[in-house]
A and B are shown apart, each in its own frame.
Chain A
Amino acid sequence: MSLKNQACIVGIYEHPTRKAPDKTIAQLHAEVAHGALADAGLSFRDIDGYACAGDAPGLGPLAMIDYMNLRVRHMDSTDTGGSSYLIHVMHAAEAIATGKADIVLVTLAGRPRSEGSSGTVPRNFGANAPDVPFELPYHAVTLNQYAMAAKRHMYEYGTTAEQLAWVKVAASHHAQHNPHAMLRDVVTVEEVVNSPMMSDPLHRLDCCVVSDGGGAVILARPEIARSLNKPVIKLLGAGSSIKALNGGDIDLTYTAGRYSGATAFAEAGVTPADIQYASIYDSFTITVIMQLEDLGFCKKGEGGKFVADGNLISGVGKLPFNTDGGGLCNNHPANRGGMTKIIEAVRQLRGEAHPKVQVPNCGLALAHGTGGVISSRHGSATLIMERA
């Protein structure tokens, strides 16, 4: 069974807050749900499916379904870090396609900025996580593990700091038009490579922001989508995968996006050359380069050349990406960027992106997420969507 054309994204909402010390995480989840329902023109009583990941409090769906008083027959708490929400969309489409749900809500929210959590703090999942005793003593943090992937990519393929910087430059060109973005100043390659070295080879401006906030999407079966007052955005294909350390026989130059992307493109029946807009997870600049290769937008090892010279800037390059400013400039709520990747792709397909970054007649878009750590264990997920 294919998911192609089986479900549509009918509601989106990105929380405008970037710092929310006076709100609870549950409240932020409910606020983004409220916003997405208003966007879709639906009531919370219309929802019969719900998904959230580890950013939600308590046992996730149990806590949030109680808090929002939802009545559901589909629920999903898949947690692959920042890519979870794309997988929730895939699972929601599966539920809709098989008659297990009609309208599914997915929420993300968190307050890492208020709580002092970031990619420079070790994440200790406890000794029951089998990897922890073999990684925690080495002070492995998100930042330096992505840096190790970048270092190896540079070694094998000649990728340069300037090429990495172009990813940030492109994001900043987009963020200048987003009044909610945390970083709205356009930066140059020189400014990126001259920003403080955090963990070789990643500079401060190679890293995403830390923000509070959240987002939500709502999926529905196509006949419901057509009855609402928004452009109909169909899911054409979806894929997910997890890549880890292979028992110590490692290759850190590629991600699970190689597999999730191939699955999604095959289901959608399109190729990377057909994609008019791409939301690409941008925890760090290297993340974008490796995922673009793994998704097939260029050959392995040529991601650095692909992103250089403004090729990701809307209206300038061949592949407009992250036109909201992405995680690098706009926001990265809950330290998990997958939700906002979906939201901006839907905005582009609806024609609701900022006019300065809107892709003309955007009919086919991709959203891709990576969650966890690119140089150890991570989950990748890819969605391909089309405007009907």
Chain B
Amino acid sequence: MATIYQDRVITAPVATPENQPYYDAAARGELLIKRCLACSAFHYHPRAICPHCFSDQTEWVVAKGEGTIYTFSVSRRVLPTAYAIAYVTLAEGVSMMTNIVDCDLDALEIGQAVKVVFKPSDGGPPVAMFTPV
């Protein structure tokens, strides 16, 4: 059995003043995360105030775009096409919700290495998704 990924219409994320740089970078094919200048910890999703130490000194960092699947689920009866929702733990240590794409969804495993790809959204900026390496 195989469930080959199919493109679907992706709801456009609504950019806000706080996350605009993230979506500007996505349009360039870059995945941005934030790092705290006070405690050096990365966090996701990006915020003005560090959620680890509450410093207001945070900076944008281009993530390597590499990670591993922390968990996932192939939703088979939610949309007309099956899709895989997941949390991917990035090389920088933070985990983010995403979709796993461009592969056989039935072959996915927790711990699998993945890399970022960007998929177009419906009238908005591209969205960071991941595909097996």
Contact = CB atoms under 8 A, between A and B. Distances in A.
Contact of A199 (B11, B23, B78, B127): B78
16 contacts: A122-B11, A130-B18, A133-B13, A137-B13, A137-B121, A139-B78, A139-B99, A143-B78, A151-B71, A152-B71, A155-B71, A198-B78, A199-B73, A199-B77, A199-B85, A247-B51
Interface of A: 120, 122, 127-128, 130-141, 143-145, 147-152, 155, 196-202, 245-250, 252, 375-376
Which among B14, B19, B47, B79 has the highest number of chain A CB atoms within 10 Å? B14
Contacts of A199: 73-78, 85
Given A135-B97, A249-B95, 17 more contacts: A128-B16, A133-B15, A134-B45, A136-B13, A137-B127, A139-B75, A139-B79, A148-B86, A148-B87, A149-B71, A196-B76, A198-B78, A247-B52, A247-B94, A249-B93, A250-B87, A252-B70
Contacts of B86: 148
Contacts of B73: 144, 147-148, 150-151, 199-202
B25 interface: no
Name, among B45, B97, B99, B127, the residue most crowded by chain A CB atoms within 10 Å (CB to CB): B97
B30 to A, nearest CB: 16
Contacts of B47: 130
A122 B45 CA distance: 19
Contacts of B75: 139, 141, 143-144, 147, 198-199
Interface in B44-81: 44-45, 47, 50-52, 70-79
Contact of B44 (A151, A196, A248): A248
A134 B96 contact: yes
B98 A148 contact: no
B71 A133 contact: no
B12 interface: yes
A246 B47 CA distance: 12
B78 to A, nearest CB: 5
Interface string B1-37: 0000000101111111011000100000000010000
B118 to A, nearest CB: 11
Contacts of A139: 8, 10-11, 75, 78-79, 83, 85, 99
Contacts of A134: 13, 19, 44-45, 96-97
A148 B13 contact: no
A131 B45 contact: yes
Nearest to A119: B78
B106 to A, nearest CB: 9
B105 to A, nearest CB: 9
A140 B44 contact: no
A155 B86 CA distance: 14
Contact of B98 (A138, A246, A249, A250): A138
